Amino acid sequence: MDPMYLALSLFRRRHYDKCIEICSSILDKQPLDQAAWCLKMRAMTQRVYVDDLESEDAAQEDVLDENVVASAPRPGTSLKTSSTAAVPFTALGARPRTATGRPISGVMRPGTQAGRPGSALERLRTSKGSTGQSARAIRLGTAAMLTQKDGPFIQVSRLNLAKYAKNKTLNKALFEYLFYHEGDVRNAMELAVLATQACEFKDWYWKIQLAKCYSALNLVRDAEQQTRSALKQHQHVESYIRLVRIYIRMDQPLTAINILKQGLEVFPQDVAILTELARINEALNESQSSVKYYRSVVIEDAMNTEAIACIGMYHFYNNQPELALRYYRRVLSMGAHSPELYNNLGLCCLYSQQLDLTLACFQRALDLATDPLIKADVWYNLSYVAIAAGDIGLAIQCLNLCLSVDVSHAAAFNNLAVLHHRMGKIHLAKAYLASAKGHQPALPECSVNLEILQDA
């Protein structure tokens, strides 16, 4: 069989490692074979490719950021004030939140991993490729395409980017290789600029790639300009989503919602746009609007785990655990097995009086939990099971186990204070409340309990 045909077949079947090996053998015999060179680039890119839309994290705040619109925005117009403001003690408004302000739902979303090091976008921004590190003497005429077995695949520092930017068969594959595989955002941006000029600014694809590079370098205004220009030339769902993410980074959720509604006029009932609308409304504490969009998502895509889980969460915090249990069981029947799911199932079983399944679900959650933060939340919820059974000693033990895993769990400190107060240990309760206040000053229960103890 022809080696190139076999390599193409392996690439289509996603056997990227074998495809790379065959392409390398072809390049050993014919170092200037552009087809094998391009295919090897594509295979190496797809092997490490991450969807930067679904793995994007919120950028850390910068005191020198020039994109801040207002330090004190009006209520309901900022994601930061919506996530940190004190909410009334209603069934849904008092939902527990993480230390970063996100409502606990067991669903991973873009921007929710900002506090965790090692996220996909962080690796993309900080990864250093082996560009320009080989000390081998390579002739300048063929330095870009010749490959050495003990050196890097492409000598990026010696690439003639202007030459490849004009080659429509290689420029896109080379850009993705530089951006995703090498993590070399600056060279990728230079290639995108040259390719945009080569096509006389008529190709919307390169404008989106430029926006990606600008976003990675935190040049959000330039990214906004490029994305809007791309939308004028060609309306695409990804362009709308990227523009929305830019406005979210600039903390302009109302503008983002307007952009998404314009996108729905072009792409009616699109799942990606509806999901973004639901996420933004939930971040603004507009729970009913969020669930409305999530229900539309489920109508279009009955296997959407995030939408089903969020609808179940909405019913749980509106005192409808039986309905929430139906949604979580639906997620379980779809093949999802995670500690968060079994934790939620255990809580739904507890509050819907299906006590025979409660402990089994929590046991399964503990068996699957490997993240210390998740395991701490499972022990914290198990303390509620003990309280419901009337075993205060077991509840205190569960909370102590929670704190042994996560020493900064403010809600556990608060509940320990309440339990010790019931046992008459006032000074110990005040100490626990002080610890909770120190770890999470925005926790509303802690502030209320401190006021009650001070007035007593």
Tens-digit pLDDT profile for the chain (456 aa)?
889 999 999 999 999 999 999 999 999 998 888 999 999 999 999 999 988 777 655 544 544 455 555 566 666 677 776 655 544 444 444 455 555 444 454 455 555 544 444 444 333 433 333 333 222 222 333 344 444 455 678 888 788 899 999 999 899 999 999 999 998 999 999 999 999 999 999 999 999 999 999 998 989 999 999 999 999 999 999 999 999 999 999 989 999 999 999 999 999 999 999 999 999 999 998 999 999 999 999 999 999 999 999 999 999 999 999 999 999 999 999 988 899 999 999 999 999 988 889 999 999 999 999 999 999 999 999 999 999 988 999 999 999 999 999 998 999 999 999 999 888 888 898 899 989 888 888 888 888 888 888 776
The sign one gets for the Cα dihedral 111, 113, 114, 118 is: negative
d(CA 80, CA 59): 13
pLDDT given for residue 262 in this prediction: 95
* Cβ neighbours around 29 below 10 Å, total: 9
**Do residues 177 and 16 make contact, with C-beta atoms less than 8 angstroms apart?**
no
Domain boundary assignment for the chain: 1-49, 302-401, 408-455
d(CA 154, CA 144): 6
At 362, the amino acid letter reads F
* Cβ neighbours around 329 below 10 Å, total: 15
At 265, the amino acid letter reads E
d(CA 48, CA 177): 10
265, with CB counted inside 10 A (0-12, 13-18, 19+), is exposed
pLDDT given for residue 50 in this prediction: 84
**Do residues 280 and 256 make contact, with C-beta atoms less than 8 angstroms apart?**
yes
d(CA 283, CA 87): 13
d(CA 267, CA 391): 55
pLDDT given for residue 68 in this prediction: 55
pLDDT given for residue 150 in this prediction: 54
d(CA 88, CA 101): 15
Which residues, 6+ apart, have CB-to-CB distance to 142 below 8 Å?
31, 32
302-401 CATH pick, 3.40.50.2000, 3.30.465.10, 3.90.1150.10, 1.25.40.10: 1.25.40.10
Which residues is 97 bridged to in the sheet? 103
pLDDT given for residue 424 in this prediction: 87
pLDDT given for residue 293 in this prediction: 96
